Amino acid sequence: MLVANRGEIARRVFRSCRALGLSTVAVHSDADADLPHVREADAAIRLPGNTPAETYLRPELIIEAARAAGADAVHPGYGFLAENAEFARAVVDAGLTWIGPSPEAIAAMGSKVRAKRLMAEADVPVLPELDPASVTADDLPVLVKASAGGGGRGMRVVSDLSALPDAIAAAQAEAGSAFGDSTVFCEHYLTSGRHIEVQILADRHGTVWAVGERECSIQRRHQKVVEEAPSPLVDAVLRAELFEAARAAAKAIGYVGAGTVEFLAAERDGRVEFFFLEMNTRLQVEHPVTEATTGLDLVAWQLRIARGERLPAEPPATRGHAIEVRLYAEDPAKDWQPQSGTLHRLSVPDAVEFTNPGEAGLRLDSGFAGGERIGVHYDPMIAKLVAVAPTRHEAATRLAGALARAQIHGVTTNRDLLVRVLRHPAFLAGETDTAFFTKHDLATLATPLAGPEVRDLSALAAALADAAENRRAARVLGRLPSGWRTVPSQPQRKVYTDGERDIEVTYRWGRHGLTDLPEWAAGRGVEAVSAEPHRVVLIVDGVRRTFSVARYPDGLVCVDSPLGSVSLRRRPRFAEPEHAAPHGSLLAPMPGSVLRVAVAVGERVKAGQPLLWLEAMKMEHQISAPGDGVVTELHVAPGEQVDVGTTLAVVQEDEQGGTDA
């Protein structure tokens, strides 16, 4: 089995393959060469390059890889080529087994415009399609959608008629670059609908199961963040209707394999209406919640169905409740900006990997094991974490607790936001809808779990752990008391950077414990019970608190405690003068690639004049001159990848325009 994908979904498919005794083949881009999915596969084939267009989106390379490795089946995972009918056909034509529905079924659902018509004919409720040219003010707001593809790409909400032409153009451009098909259409936009989908399994012998529904209403940028099964909105009557509609949809196109029929549900006049959105002719990201509530291995069933096996007459009964969250490398507080960096550690206590945890427990599906770089080329999802429990409330609290206790070191993630969502009264009450982040103040939800006081304490713990590590690593006198002085004159000092803020910690190990602490710590009666390089136990306000401390290159110090996780950066004792960024340096605000450069060294520029453009996650960011002056340095060229903080260019500002920033 060759999996034409990367990361967690490749690992997920491999897990079922191994269970069924199949050998596995991975493909990988250059950037992904060291990922666990490559390490775990029995064989791996390199796809030269890094961008999806060069690698995972190249059908011919993948079929060639399958031949080279001796694979006789191809699983597409999700995304990339998973819903590419031509690829499916090429796989079949190459004499390989395609794990998925027929190319015709994919094509039928691939065009959303066509799919909607098909569904309407099969009596599946649909939202009427609007002709972009004849949208009126009464139709607003409308959603502009790419006919091909999914995952929120090429989607635009328009609530002002004058913005429509631009939105259509932008959606067309985005769809064209992402899916190679720039067709877009419009439909009425339900501002606060509920996203409910039904998992389908269909064999080649006419049995079509509606296995269970999932609700995935909590989304950001039209991408799902929290998914669960069953839906808190759906009662037995509605469930029967949904299942019937989903089976009708599948049957209408002779669907075989695993697929998902997505609906948009909304309450109107006291009853719930639902409309067909689209059918995903592949495995979904959120399939684990269905596995958790049914006990099925959906991937194993995909493989069995491909082998021609029969489904039993009835699907298994569902039990309990499962909730999944998607852990993204992104900063929700900064407009969900994707983050890159090295994921030094990813550890969720008590979670089993890629395996149903039974009636209660945690499941972790991740493409990373810790130590890998999270790059800018692919989706920033790090992992999916699923909690299963007898009730929804328990699943939510268990998941929130596990996330809060997880150790995620090296990249900024949406973890704290997820915890806040899972603990939010509206979420716990089942009031989830697609506008969750608008209704419940994103700024509050994006606030870190660890407040300023916890961050200060974490910095103190980091300092004491660093001190213990310094003693441990000392070449001489390592076992003498830490910072011992015959004549004490001042405390030890360590400074940690916490985002924009510096936290200075002072301390001295006196004969009877800590002294010379910063005022805020002395005021809280902070005492040290023990301080080891990776574990510090403090008494704060009479309460014993344990902090776990990990340190990584570049001064990164990660402090985890039940009070919240804090990522700090140790400020070096000495600034290397040559490393200080020259005045007027323009630093990359986010990881990305340089699109264009508009200036040359020596050129005079005016304040605000665009100098160069970065592309990050398909969005363009303009870098402009901070003031009038001359470009004295230019460090990047088009096509170059840059990390956050990379110096892009230096503008020597004119004297009177100079600032001290």
- Of 166, 309, 316, 484, the one binding other proteins (CB under 8 A) is 484
Beta sheet of 604-605, edge-to-edge order: 585-587, 647-653, 629-634, 604-605
CB-nearer residue toward other proteins: 268 or 475: 475
- Of 53, 68, 474, 619, the one binding other proteins (CB under 8 A) is 474
268 makes contact with other proteins (CB under 8 A): no
CB-nearer residue toward other proteins: 66 or 549: 549
Structure tokens at 504: 């200075």
310 in Cβ contact with 384 (< 8 Å): no
Structure tokens at 140: 């607003």
551 makes contact with other proteins (CB under 8 A): no
- Of 172, 355, 492, 548, the one binding other proteins (CB under 8 A) is 492
What is the Cα–Cα distance from 421 to 119, expressed in whole angstroms? 34
- Of 486, 541, 600, 656, the one binding other proteins (CB under 8 A) is 486
Please tell me the count of residues contacting other proteins according to CB under 8 A: 27
Structure tokens at 481: 């008391």
Q: Which range binds other proteins by CB under 8 A, 20-28, 570-578, 583-591, 638-646?
A: 570-578
- Of 490, 541, 543, 600, the one binding other proteins (CB under 8 A) is 490
Minimum CB separation of residue 501 from other proteins in Å reads 22
Contacts with other proteins in 452-471 (CB under 8 A)? 466-467, 470-471
- Of 268, 271, 479, 579, the one binding other proteins (CB under 8 A) is 479
CB-nearer residue toward other proteins: 432 or 506: 506
480 makes contact with other proteins (CB under 8 A): yes
Minimum CB separation of residue 515 from other proteins in Å reads 14
Contacts with other proteins in 6-35 (CB under 8 A)? none
Q: Where are the beta strands (DSSP E) in 38-135?
A: 43-46, 73-75, 97-98, 129-130
Minimum CB separation of residue 521 from other proteins in Å reads 18
62 in Cβ contact with 80 (< 8 Å): no
604 makes contact with other proteins (CB under 8 A): no
Minimum CB separation of residue 507 from other proteins in Å reads 10
Minimum CB separation of residue 421 from other proteins in Å reads 41
100 in Cβ contact with 76 (< 8 Å): yes
- Could you tell me which of 145, 379, 173 has the C-alpha nearest to residue 278? 145
Report H helices in 204-324: 236-252, 287-294, 298-306
- Could you tell me which of 404, 409, 407, 438 has the C-alpha nearest to residue 423? 404
What is the Cα–Cα distance from 414 to 212, expressed in whole angstroms? 28
CB-nearer residue toward other proteins: 238 or 531: 531
Minimum CB separation of residue 481 from other proteins in Å reads 6
Residue labelled with tokens 């003068």: 577
134 makes contact with other proteins (CB under 8 A): no
Residue labelled with tokens 């996650």: 617
- Of 483, 555, 589, 658, the one binding other proteins (CB under 8 A) is 483
Minimum CB separation of residue 480 from other proteins in Å reads 5
Contacts with other proteins in 506-545 (CB under 8 A)? 511
Give the containing element (helix H, strand E) for 174.
helix 164-179
Which residues are within 8 A (CB) of 614 and not within 5 positions of it... i.e. 6 or more apart? 588, 589, 590, 592, 593, 594, 595, 620, 621, 623, 642
Q: How far is CA 508 from the centre of its chain?
A: 42
Minimum CB separation of residue 489 from other proteins in Å reads 4
Minimum CB separation of residue 603 from other proteins in Å reads 30
Minimum CB separation of residue 397 from other proteins in Å reads 41
CB-nearer residue toward other proteins: 377 or 494: 494
Q: Which range binds other proteins by CB under 8 A, 279-287, 413-421, 482-490, 547-555?
A: 482-490
CB-nearer residue toward other proteins: 268 or 511: 511
CB-nearer residue toward other proteins: 334 or 493: 493
198 in Cβ contact with 244 (< 8 Å): no
342 makes contact with other proteins (CB under 8 A): no
Structure tokens at 195: 């996203």
What is the Cα–Cα distance from 580 to 578, expressed in whole angstroms? 6
485 makes contact with other proteins (CB under 8 A): yes
- Of 48, 141, 206, 481, the one binding other proteins (CB under 8 A) is 481
Minimum CB separation of residue 494 from other proteins in Å reads 7
Q: Which range binds other proteins by CB under 8 A, 358-366, 399-407, 414-422, 477-485?
A: 477-485
Q: Which range binds other proteins by CB under 8 A, 93-101, 161-169, 480-488, 650-658?
A: 480-488
Number of other CB atoms surrounding residue 333 within 10 Å = 18
Residue labelled with tokens 């959606």: 171
Contacts with other proteins in 571-600 (CB under 8 A)? 573-577
CB-nearer residue toward other proteins: 119 or 463: 463
489 makes contact with other proteins (CB under 8 A): yes
DSSP state, 295? Answer: -
487 makes contact with other proteins (CB under 8 A): yes
Which residues are within 8 A (CB) of 23 and not within 5 positions of it... i.e. 6 or more apart? 1, 17, 42, 43
Pairing of strands 25-28, 2-3: parallel
475 makes contact with other proteins (CB under 8 A): yes
CB-nearer residue toward other proteins: 415 or 494: 494
Minimum CB separation of residue 464 from other proteins in Å reads 10
Q: Is the dihedral of CA 638, 644, 650, 651 positive or negative?
A: positive
**3-state SS record for 616-640:** ECCEEEEEECCCCEEEEEECCCCCC
CB-nearer residue toward other proteins: 294 or 506: 506
- Of 494, 524, 545, 551, the one binding other proteins (CB under 8 A) is 494
Cross-strand partners of 557: 551, 568
Q: Where are the beta strands (DSSP E) in 330-391?
A: 330-331, 337-338, 341-343, 345-347, 351-353, 361-366, 372-374, 381-389
Binding footprint of other proteins on the chain (CB under 8 A): 466-467, 470-471, 474-477, 479-487, 489-490, 492, 494, 511, 573-577
